[in-house]
Structure 1
Amino acid sequence: MEEKILIDKETLKAIAVDTRLNILKLLFKKKYTLSDIAEILGFGNSTVKEHLDILSKADLIKKEDTERKWKYYSLTFKGRRLIEPREIKVLFAFITTLIAAVGMAFVFAKNFLIKGAQTFAAEAPKALNVMEAAKGTVVEESADIVQLAEETIITGTQISSYNLSIIMFVVLLVLIALSAFFFGMLLKKPQLIITKGGNKK
């Protein structure tokens, strides 16, 4: 079942202030007491208490009930999902692998289109020399030598080109698979629902 996070009026109010966002970021790392948060942010306890009350009302944080004198605050599931950088990291990974896949596909296609012309231009003089040498022999032997020379040249270039193409194709498949994986993770992220009122439906 798809996870949903309700973004209601109270939540929008809670995350509209930088100080409260900073509190959420602090609590994402570990639990803190009111005094700890006030000391880290450089605010008075009463000011921090007001921010904590607003965050609690929006169900973004909770005060843990313990036997200790000091009460610790921590993120709720809703608060953690809002502040968690997972989606940002996954999106960055998706974009990176997608760009790499497109680049590799371009290089792969370019290799097929240009490799033949480059190979022909590089190997043509050698083939011509072999053919010229073969002209002084008997017609049958000449034909055999020319054919053997052409097969040798083509086979050598085909093997190196084939190995490179296989490697590039495998890398391209891996990049496409990674792109699909990260895209799937993005689609599975919790759905944010914005409502007009403060009541959950």
Structure 2
Amino acid sequence: MKKKLIFLTNIFLCILFIRFVSAAGTAGSLNINIIESQCLLDFGEGWNFFSFCRNLIDKNASNVFSSAENNYRYIMRWNQEKQEFDIFSPRSSRNPVPDLNDDESYFIYFYSNSYLDVNGTSPGDESRNLVEGWNAPSYQLGFSKTIDSLTLPIEYQYRYIMKWNLSRQEFDIFSQKSLKNPFGTIDQEEGFFIYSKEDLILNIFNMQ
């Protein structure tokens, strides 16, 4: 799945008021006001697999998707310990996924095309804890990375990567052993699965 990242504001808006030290030795001061960064996620009809493009301030699932509460049906989180999905429904009073995790990718089912404003802070260098088996880490950066670049630190420790094809509503699979793969990058706020051969840490560096 490929979604276009639209920035609504700059990463940080800083308003500076400076009174500098004069020759007579008067004291100086610096005031900085920081406004959180926003971005817009673009969802299609059907199942979408995505990463949040910011580190969430409010992680409550109902609150995060409140602007689209009548247009989505389910959110699914991959439970890497159980190797199965936990399912959140806005119609249920008891849910296994009340809070969202920036480090994870999520499935969400939309009845029709929709947008979501995401309020939060910009990601820096990130690390993701992977277990042996399938994992669904998030990719929050505002630019694409090649698979080779993303997985360089764990080059021989993973087997497959899967991305969701929104139009076909099925997974495309990247294999290290294949000479012809359906994709070669992880793009802006895409969700992805990775099959790890062992427990390890995936470091994602905020550089192109």
TM-score where L is the length of structure 2? 0.19
Structure (1/2) with the larger helix percentage: 1
TM-score where L is the length of structure 1? 0.20
Structure (1/2) with the larger strand percentage: 2
Q: Highest CA radius of gyration, 1 or 2?
A: 1
